[in-house]
């Protein structure tokens, strides 16, 4: 998420003052000295050697070759390494992908540190549909900087998702099964209490203020004829209604009782990867949360289905997801009518995410905007949120 937008807009759409950054002091490798690099030029074989030796003593990166580098909200750096015998014996691959914030001009808040914590503490555990991480680290000094060294999925023969991919009802059902496994493994788990660093969904600044932080991009998209053609009249005439209803969703979610689980937080198809064996992994765990699963479920379904597919299949897909939770051992799951009630409230999360999208960041926003706003009209989302506010 780019949090550097400049605001020339109505006062009541400005974000509140962010909370002060917290220096936790809980690095995973306390003996590491200095800070993680902030510049891509500082990512050298010598630096990577020193980093990896915190976990793999004796490893030596003799040389490295940049295969690809992509800068957006964060940096994805694919490298081909020349390792010594100790590195190969430790199981390190010669091709890896590094993720961090080396994107000049992007202030990414704490998302890189949060993602590194996820990969260090959670990702490699059974039942978690994430890429394999070989090393994860963060500074814990309030800067929000973190780094992950993970498998290079581009070499595995699978396929990275895109927001415009058409999976169909069956494909979305399979993706929901992947989310159900994640949610079920962590459903009401006492291990959640051990993850004090993991924010609670819709109770953290990045969640509650993201629409206000991104409002400059909303205002840039609204006048475009392509957006005007698909947006409902209320959004054209009173766009701040979206802000009010998003605030109402946050308040509603904050009132919801446990059980909670781990949620991905940004589960559109473009943040996924399909392995050759059909397993769907989830990428970009920068908004990972502990919370209720309806954020993930609704975001995936409304963004991944055509409007007609969603209208025809949404109730059955919700049943399919809930059955998957129960098969995984989740208990005290709300009944299907209550699931339907939650589902009707959550389209506004996707509405605010995609109306602020910039296509140059890598995903196509217009089709998603049409799907989410149409779903909100069909499900009477705005009226419901105004009623619960």
Sorted by where each begins, the domain ranges of the chain are: 11-155, 159-388
Query: What does pTM read for this prediction?
Result: 0.91
Q: How far apart are CA 283 and CA 119, in angstroms?
A: 11
Dihedral pair phi/psi, residue 101, rounded to 5°: -105, 90
* Residue 46 burial (10 A CB sphere; 0-12, 13-18, 19+): exposed
* Residue 189 burial (10 A CB sphere; 0-12, 13-18, 19+): middle
Across 20-29, average pLDDT? 80
Q: Return the closest-CA partner of residue 299 out of 178, 176, 167.
A: 176
Q: Which CATH superfamily is domain 159-388 in?
A: Aminoglycoside phosphotransferase (APH), C-terminal lobe (3.90.1200.10)
For the domain covering 11-155, report its CATH number.
Answer: 3.30.200
Dihedral pair phi/psi, residue 347, rounded to 5°: -55, -30
Structure confidence at residue 5 as a pLDDT band (50, 70, 90): very low
Alpha helix segments (H runs only) across the chain: 45-52, 85-89, 111-121, 168-185, 205-208, 210-213, 215-221, 225-228, 233-237, 240-254, 294-304, 307-327, 336-345, 347-354, 365-379, 381-388
What are the tens digits of pLDDT across the range 321-379? 999 999 999 999 999 999 999 999 999 999 999 999 888 777 778 999 999 999 999 99
**Tokens linked to 350:** 């996707």
Q: What spatial distance separates the first Cα and last Cα of the chain, rounded to whole Å?
A: 27
Instruction: Report whether pLDDT(98) > 70.
Output: yes
CB 173 within 8 A of CB 316: no
* Residue 300 burial (10 A CB sphere; 0-12, 13-18, 19+): buried
């Amino acid at each position: 998420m780019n949090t550097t937008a400049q605001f020339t807009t109505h006062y009541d759409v400005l974000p509140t003052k962010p909370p002060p950054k917290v220096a936790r002091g809980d690095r995973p490798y306390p003996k590491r000295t200095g800070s993680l690099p902030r510049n891509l030029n500082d990512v050298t074989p010598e630096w990577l050697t020193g980093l990896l030796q915190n976990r793999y003593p004796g490893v030596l990166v003799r040389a490295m070759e940049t295969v690809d580098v992509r800068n957006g909200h964060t940096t994805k750096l694919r490298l081909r390494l020349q390792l010594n015998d100790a590195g190969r014996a430790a199981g390190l691959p010669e091709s890896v992908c590094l993720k961090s914030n080396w994107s000049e001009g992007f202030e990414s808040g704490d998302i890189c540190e949060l993602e590194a914590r996820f990969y260090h503490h959670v990702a490699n555990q059974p039942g978690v549909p994430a890429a394999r991480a070989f090393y994860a680290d963060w500074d814990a000094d309030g800067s929000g900087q973190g780094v992950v060294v993970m498998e290079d999925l581009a070499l595995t023969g699978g396929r990275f998702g895109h927001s415009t991919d058409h999976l169909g009802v069956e494909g979305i059902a399979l993706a929901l099964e992947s989310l159900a496994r994640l949610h079920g493994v962590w459903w009401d788990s006492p291990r959640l209490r051990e993850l004090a660093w993991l924010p609670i969904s819709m109770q953290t600044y990045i969640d509650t203020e993201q629409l206000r932080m991104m409002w400059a991009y909303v205002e840039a998209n609204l006048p475009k004829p392509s957006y005007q053609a698909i947006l409902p009249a209320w959004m054209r005439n009173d766009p701040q209604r979206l802000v009010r209803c998003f605030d109402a969703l946050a308040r509603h979610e904050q009132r919801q009782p446990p059980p909670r689980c781990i949620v991905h937080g940004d589960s559109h198809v473009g943040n996924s990867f399909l392995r050759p064996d059909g397993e769907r992994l989830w990428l970009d765990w920068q908004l990972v949360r502990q919370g209720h699963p309806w954020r993930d479920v609704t975001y995936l379904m409304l963004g991944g289905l055509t409007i007609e597919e969603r209208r025809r299949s949404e109730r059955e897909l919700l049943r399919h997801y809930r059955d998957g939770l129960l098969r995984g051992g989740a208990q005290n799951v709300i009944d299907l009518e209550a699931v339907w009630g939650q589902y009707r409230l959550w389209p506004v999360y996707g509405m605010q995410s995609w109306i602020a999208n910039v296509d140059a960041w890598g995903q196509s926003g217009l089709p998603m905007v049409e799907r989410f706003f149409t779903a909100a009209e069909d499900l009477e989302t705005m009226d419901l949120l105004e009623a619960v506010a």
